[in-house]
Chain A
Amino acid sequence: MTKMSRIVQTITSIMFPFAMIYGLYVIAHGHLTPGGGFQGGAIVASACAMILVAFGSKWTMEKIKEKHLSIFESVGALCFIGLAFFGLIFGSVFFSNYLVGNEMLFGVIPMAGSTAADFNTGGVIPLMNFAVGLKVIAGLFAIVLVMAYATTKLREGKK
């Protein structure tokens, strides 16, 4: 797809950090408020698709090749499986939550009932949120980028 006008490019460059920070907030606070890895990953991927629409697919493909995106996605998947395997080593079963009651990393247990939000809780769940969020961002952005670039090449090849 071709570029849009200069007004649209300027406004997109201003709005992109706000959308990305909102998406990362939804990913990071997944164990306290509604949200989590999949939802926040979809928000950041739609912000990246906004960049793709405003700046054209040729420019975006020159800056970000899809090889780097596939490396990101593989790192996210390997971190997720690695955290599950550490549950087998430190705990007793495959997906066990071994960081609860730890007092160092993420292991405070909240009081029963309706409490205020404490970020230090959750065990292994916030780390898994980051791994899955990275995977979803890279995967959805790679799908949109490859489809847009391939149809641009198709239209040029026909003319």
Chain B
Amino acid sequence: MSKRNMIAAVFFGIVAGIFVMSALLMHPFGELDESAMDDYIIENTQEETGANNGVTAVVFDYRGFDTLGEATVLFTAVAGVILVFRRLHDD
């Protein structure tokens, strides 16, 4: 075991311990404390947006800016991939 592997193993053990402790100390699965924003969305989706699907209404109407940012990320990834392979392409 080289020196780098031992340091990496100590770091891995510390991170694993922190993660398992915080997973056991979280609130029980299924019992939420506050959900006021989502209660408002579930009640008023059909009259404000007119869609039957709550998730699509959140993605495109209540949080449309996040979808705009995600479309930009997709465009940047496609532009980057085509840019990397441009030199092997002879026409």
Chain A residue contacts of B53, Cβ below 8 A: 30-34, 36
Encoded as 1 (CB less than 8 Å from any B CB) or 0, chain A from 126 to 150 comes to: 0011001001100100110011011
Chain B: interface residue total (CB-CB under 8 A): 29
Our pick among B51, B57, B88 for the contact of A153 (Cβ within 8 Å) is: B88
Contact A150 B88 (CB under 8 A): yes
In the complex formed, the residue of B with least CB distance to A66 is B82
Our pick among B48, B57, B74 for the contact of A136 (Cβ within 8 Å) is: B74
Chain A residue contacts of B60, Cβ below 8 A: 36, 124-125, 128-129
Chain A residue contacts of B85, Cβ below 8 A: 146-147, 150
Chain A: interface residue total (CB-CB under 8 A): 47
Our pick among A30, A100, A143, A157 for the contact of B50 (Cβ within 8 Å) is: A100
A56 at the interface (CB under 8 A from B): no
Bound state CA distance, A115 and B52, in angstroms?
Answer: 8
Contact B74 A135 (CB under 8 A): yes
In the complex formed, the residue of B with least CB distance to A113 is B46
B interface list, Cβ under 8 A from A = 46-53, 55-57, 59-61, 64-65, 67-68, 71, 74-75, 77-78, 81-82, 85, 88-90
A sample of 18 more A-B contacts (CB under 8 A), given A36-B55, A73-B78, is A31-B53, A31-B57, A32-B51, A34-B53, A36-B56, A36-B59, A77-B71, A84-B64, A109-B46, A121-B51, A122-B50, A125-B61, A129-B56, A129-B60, A146-B81, A147-B85, A150-B89, A153-B89
